[in-house]
Amino acid sequence: MQLVHEQPDFEFFLRGADGRTALVNDRRLDASFIVAPDRLLEGWPVADVLTLQVADLEPLFALEPELVLLGCGGSQAFPPQEVLAACLSRGIGLESMTNAAAARTYNVLAGEGRRVVAAFILGA
């Protein structure tokens, strides 16, 4: 059997993530960040999904996503209701999941050409 290494047709690919680190392309990150198929924003100042505020989402909204994947760290948690409402009022879906699940989901959706933005909370 012949194996072919296929490169994604988008710029930023998640090779994996857990509660402490993530691997974007070949770069290891250990601080919270935001990624879109064409953009990587490092140093997102969020440390806990439970204290997430609507203002923390502004960098995500600026990327005009149709869907936001929120990687909450090593275990699943949900942001405050105000955060969910802010997304819904803009017509943006928000899915909260573990970082590992968010990385896998991001790659699938980005590969389909969807306008997905993923925000990962690291260090928890």
Confidence band for 43, pLDDT divided at 50, 70 and 90: very high
> How many domains are there within the chain?
1
Query: Is residue 97 a contact partner of residue 108, using CB atoms and an 8 Å limit?
Result: no
For residue 53, give its domain range. 33-120
1-19: per-residue pLDDT in tens?
665 445 567 799 999 999 8
Predicted local distance difference test score (pLDDT) of residue 6: 55
Tokens 């989402």 map to which residue?
Answer: 57
Within-domain flag for 8: no
59-107: per-residue pLDDT in tens?
999 999 999 999 999 999 999 999 999 999 999 999 999 999 999 999 9
CATH number of domain containing 58:
3.40.1230.10
Query: Is residue 95 a contact partner of residue 45, using CB atoms and an 8 Å limit?
Result: no
- Burial 1-36, CB ≥16 within 10 A → b, else e: eeeeeeeeeeebbbeebbbeebebeeeebebbbbbb
Confidence band for 30, pLDDT divided at 50, 70 and 90: very high
Within-domain flag for 5: no
Within-domain flag for 6: no
Within-domain flag for 68: yes
